[in-house]
Amino acid sequence: MHTTVGIIGAGPSGLLLARLLHRAGIDSVVLEAKDRSYVEQRQRAGILEQTTVDTLRAVGAGERMDREGLIHDGIELRFDGRAHRIDFPELTGGRSVMVYAQTEVVKDLIALQLAEGGPLFFEAQVHSVEQANGDRPTVRYTHEGREQTLTCDYVVGCDGFHGVTGSAIPAAARRTYERTYPYSWLGILAEAPPVYDELIYAHSERGFALASMRSPSVSRLYLQVPNGTDVADWSDERIWDELDARLATRQEPGWKLARGPITAKSVLPMRSHVTEPMRHKRVFLAGDAAHIVPPTGAKGLNLAATDVIVLAEAFTELYKNGSTALLDAYSETCLERVWRAEHFSYFMTTTLHADPEQSAFDTRLQLSQLARIAASPHAATELAHNYVGAPISQDAA
């Protein structure tokens, strides 16, 4: 089989790229190692920037999102026993974010791809991506018990941090930058209606907590826990009690979360990682295959979407006008935005979490920074602009 663009990975970035290419008249094949059920239930981010929302609408994947998604005009910071709201539209000229789970984005994009897009193969285990001397790359994979070959004009790896595509870039041709954090997140899904209108980010002596939602009847909540935590050590009652303790403020004594059955628990390690460049010859990396951010800044899914938006525009320019200028600039264009998002995610993470080895002095610095955001319109505006994300056309500004 031959295709113009071979896409490895049917997460949101791979599926969105396939959709963008389809609308531009460029053929592609998507190979996904897992089965459809697994992909559609894979829990990840749930915050969509305005650019991501606008793009999903533009490719025809916005109908259910607009019906079921929850527009959020701000977040609440809780620290030192008080709460402070950051108003996004007021500080950013009207921009906001939307809560719509990655599982739902993926379901919508899969349905579109199967209905009218190019081939999408589930349970297609890719073994290697090979390219010699800049020739067209070859993807070798197993599907339905048979070893198969896909030749491509180009390959895009949307297969995540542990994916196969990254190995197609020789170690001598790339640089990696990484930071790990001395804590993880214990995340839960609960059949409990949120008692808050927007996300709550809480700094406390007991550790960080985040209250978010998936729908008006389902809460998504997180607790900072030590690395290596076993979810079996956390009973439902212990989780709820700890969330209440960390989210408490002096302004609302007795404030409690609505409790309900916890349907899922998982521990998420925290990592920052960037691979440069995001291209080698005819192989490109996008999303988690190229960069990872801690989830505190809600940037992972949105960075992945931006990567493939830029890449789809570059492929369109190549096949319609014969110009490689945008394709040649892909890595540099994306990395400028990636590093800004890495910095913001690092800032949010280190400002809100309690490092197990930090001193009382370090804690006071965190509280001072949070107090500055609450008191200074300039500091609040910077946070708001970073959180909602800049339009792609403004990246160079």
Indicate the pairing of strand 209-215 with strand 218-225: antiparallel
Q: Which of 107, 280, 291, 299 is catalytic?
A: 299
Q: Which of 201, 222, 291, 330 is catalytic?
A: 201
- CA separation for the pair 107, 42 (Å, rounded): 11
Told to judge if 295 belongs to the known catalytic residues of this protein, a careful annotator would answer yes
Told to judge if 299 belongs to the known catalytic residues of this protein, a careful annotator would answer yes
How many other CB atoms are there within 10 angstroms of residue 138's CB atom? 17
277: cis peptide before it, omega within 30°? yes
Inter-CA distances, 296 with 52, 98, 180, Å:
18, 16, 14
Told to judge if 201 belongs to the known catalytic residues of this protein, a careful annotator would answer yes
Q: Which of 72, 107, 203, 280 is catalytic?
A: 72
Q: Which of 154, 295, 330, 353 is catalytic?
A: 295
- CA separation for the pair 304, 14 (Å, rounded): 9
CB 190 within 8 A of CB 221: yes
Give the chain's end-to-end CA distance (angstroms, integer).
43
Tokens 């199967």 map to which residue?
A: 114
CA angle 78, 81, 87 (to 5 degrees): 30
CB 138 within 8 A of CB 153: no
- The upper half-sphere exposure of residue 208, i.e. CA atoms within 13 Å in the direction of its Cβ, equals 29
- CA separation for the pair 3, 349 (Å, rounded): 41
CB 7 within 8 A of CB 26: no
CB 156 within 8 A of CB 311: yes
- CA separation for the pair 8, 141 (Å, rounded): 10
CB 194 within 8 A of CB 219: yes
| Tokens of residue 310, six digits | 């830029």
Told to judge if 387 belongs to the known catalytic residues of this protein, a careful annotator would answer yes
Q: Which of 100, 181, 330, 387 is catalytic?
A: 387
- CA separation for the pair 321, 65 (Å, rounded): 34
Task: Name every residue whose Cβ is closer than 8 Å to that of residue 241 and which is 6 or more positions away in sequence.
Answer: none
Told to judge if 281 belongs to the known catalytic residues of this protein, a careful annotator would answer no
Inter-CA distances, 203 with 88, 231, 259, 282, 363, Å:
20, 22, 21, 45, 10
Active centre residues (catalytic): 72, 201, 295, 299, 387
